[in-house]
Homo-oligomer: A and B are copies of this chain.
């Protein structure tokens, strides 16, 4: 039994796959620990996303800026989640995104080469990510569906129910963007919802 206090990553990996003690040390030695201050960027457009990040504690958003200069948020991630631009990370081509800390954030990171090595060393890690991506894919399909066919107010209510913490930790402007609406619309929706 690994507790989150000992090592968060190992704890969460073990939720999904069985690994040996050797696997554990192989995994642990493949990651580096680091931290970043609020409002600082882990990645800016044009750079290659050299690392995949696992957030130990903090908050990170991934967004891009469109032709008109408007920000659009892909996702907002908290403790015990992965962050990074997968597309750039796996292709090792320049990213289109900003990855920014919304709070002072502690994380661990792994480079592409090191991760590929780890996949070979520890096949269970392949499986771990297979399961993770599978879940991420299903969740994103659901989010897509909600965005297509549910009115914004329902999406807001769902978010309030599923991620009440967000509203404590993230400015409403960002939540609006994540929900696919403007800050003004979110404000009006909230007003309507409180009456």
Q: A147 with B148: in contact, given A133-B133, A141-B74 (CB under 8 Å)?
A: yes
Interface locus among A29-37, A38-46, A122-130: A122-130
Instruction: Name the distance in Å between A138's Cβ and chain B's nearest Cβ.
Output: 5
Query: Among B74, B130, B148, which residue has its beta carbon within 8 angstroms of that of A130?
Result: B130
Name the CB-closest residue of B to A119.
B127
List 16 interface pairs A-B (beta carbons < 8 Å), by A numbering.
A66-B149, A72-B148, A74-B141, A86-B137, A119-B127, A123-B123, A123-B126, A126-B127, A127-B130, A129-B130, A133-B136, A136-B137, A137-B137, A144-B144, A147-B147, A148-B180
A143 contacts partner chain B, Cβ-Cβ < 8 Å: yes
Interface residues of A in 28-74 (CB under 8 A from B): 66, 72, 74
A141-B133 Cα distance, complex, nearest whole Å: 12
- Chain A, residues 143-174, CB within 8 Å of chain B (1/0): the string is 11101110000000000000000000000000
A140-B135 Cα distance, complex, nearest whole Å: 12
A140/B144 in contact, CB under 8 A: yes
Instruction: Name the distance in Å between A147's Cβ and chain B's nearest Cβ.
Output: 6
A residues sitting closer than 8 Å to B (CB atoms) are: 66, 72, 74, 86-87, 90, 119, 123, 126-127, 129-130, 133-134, 136-138, 140-141, 143-145, 147-149, 180
A90/B134 in contact, CB under 8 A: yes
With a cutoff of 8 Å between Cβ atoms, the chain B residues found around residue A127 in the complex are 119, 123, 126, 130
With a cutoff of 8 Å between Cβ atoms, the chain B residues found around residue A141 in the complex are 74, 140
A86/B126 in contact, CB under 8 A: no
Instruction: Name the distance in Å between A133's Cβ and chain B's nearest Cβ.
Output: 4
Q: A87 with B138: in contact, given A123-B126, A133-B130 (CB under 8 Å)?
A: yes
Query: Among B74, B90, B134, B145, which residue has its beta carbon within 8 angstroms of that of A72?
Result: B145
Name the CB-closest residue of B to A146.
B144
Instruction: Name the distance in Å between A124's Cβ and chain B's nearest Cβ.
Output: 9
